[in-house]
Amino acid sequence: MDLFWGVLYLLLFPGFLFLLFFGLLFEWVDRKVYARLQNRVGPPIFQPFADLIKLLGKEDIIPGNVDRALFQYTPLIAFAAVMTPIFNIPLWSARALFPLQGDLLLALYLLSIPTLALFVIGWSSVSLYPLVGGFRAATMLFGFEVPFILTCLSGGVVAGSWSISDVTTYMARHPAVMLLLLPGFVIALLALEAKLERSPFDIPHAETEIVGGTLTEYSGKKLAVMRLVDDIGMVVGSSLIAAIFLGGFLFLDKSLIWSGTDFTPFINFMLYIAKSLFIVLLLALVRTLFARLRIDQMLDFSWKYLATGGLLQLFIAVVYAGALHG
């Protein structure tokens, strides 16, 4: 029976099918909002699903002279890494499906693997455009990963736990702390934009400079998997930020304003979706407002402002935790 439920969780909810559906839905929301902000109509709601089906039906070409093992299996590793953290994020109750005491650190580690996978893909493709894109992705990793980790850890420091479930519950019970971590929320949002390699941080996939960038040599099923890695990364990344900085599926702790009542899991889940969609809307806004940066500008911005702000936010969190528990 445990094996049955484990397979069900992995394949249906909150596993593959859930992430597939909401990943494509979030992609449509992002593209639609992006288009409307540019005074365009945007795609119909079924467009991301149609694009995925089209890619899955195309011929899967493997160029000559590539490292076949890395070229073929790296997308699957990236897909597994970006999908796993959803099991450690609370979606409808106070505890995640599989909570761990250090799952915040685990989630941060797993979400860094897709960027490393892009470097491996570029290296294994033995082609100029993917190689340049791969080196750009690896270079960017040193710019956005540090501020993203620092700000996310600030939530754990304030809550006194490295468990995402504990951080979510603490934020819901102490909504004033969300204001304390507001700078960290902004920094984490910009760092997530860079992790997803979206404008203005779409440097590894700059079509006007390096064609398709890292994924130039990919087609068919492998390209579809990498598209899904981006979409699921948007779902999991926005879910993680919502859990740490916005109280996850909770609006406020029910004991504060809804004494004697109880949210149903469905309503809890809808609140989680609403907060995640709010973050996607902010990502689309950032994508619309700013043009692509050069790689040197991106690193300069990351280290001068994002990393400095992340360190400051962590310092504030440590001072707050020391004063609270000291």
- The pLDDT of residue 269: 86
Q: Comparing C-alpha atoms, which of 136, 154, 138, 125 is closest to residue 63?
A: 125
pLDDT (mean) for 158-162: 91
- The pLDDT of residue 293: 82
Q: How far apart are CA 189 and CA 292, in angstroms?
A: 17
State the chain's maximal CA–CA distance in angstroms.
Answer: 67
Does the structure show a pLDDT above 90 at 182? yes
Instruction: Express each pLDDT in 227-238 by its tens digit.
Output: 999 999 999 999
Does the structure show a pLDDT above 50 at 259? no
Q: How far apart are CA 159 and CA 166, in angstroms?
A: 7
What is the crossing angle of helices 220-245 and 16-37, to 10°? 80
pLDDT (mean) for 271-285: 92
Does the structure show a pLDDT above 70 at 306? yes
Please check whether residue 187 is in contact with residue 151, taking contact to mean a CB–CB distance below 8 angstroms.
Answer: yes
Residue 324: which pLDDT band, with cuts at 50, 70 and 90? Answer: confident
pLDDT (mean) for 256-283: 75
- The pLDDT of residue 163: 93
155 vs 325, more confident: 155
Residue 296: which pLDDT band, with cuts at 50, 70 and 90? Answer: confident
- The pLDDT of residue 257: 41
**Residue 35, exposed/middle/buried by CB under 10 A (0-12, 13-18, 19+)?**
middle
Residue 258: which pLDDT band, with cuts at 50, 70 and 90? Answer: very low
Residue 108: which pLDDT band, with cuts at 50, 70 and 90? Answer: very high
Please check whether residue 241 is in contact with residue 185, taking contact to mean a CB–CB distance below 8 angstroms.
Answer: yes
Out of 2-16, 36-50, 89-103, 255-269, which region has the weakest mean confidence (pLDDT)? 255-269
Please give the model's pTM, rounded to 2 decimal places: 0.91
Does the structure show a pLDDT above 50 at 113? yes
Which pair of structure tokens corresponds to residue 115?
């960027």
> 27 φ, ψ to 5°?
-60, -45
Coil/strand/helix, residue 225: helix
- The pLDDT of residue 326: 59
- The pLDDT of residue 202: 84
- The pLDDT of residue 255: 46
Q: Is the four-CA dihedral 276, 282, 285, 289 of positive or negative sign?
A: negative
- The pLDDT of residue 231: 93
pLDDT (mean) for 218-235: 90
- The pLDDT of residue 14: 83
Does the structure show a pLDDT above 70 at 316? yes
- The pLDDT of residue 251: 58
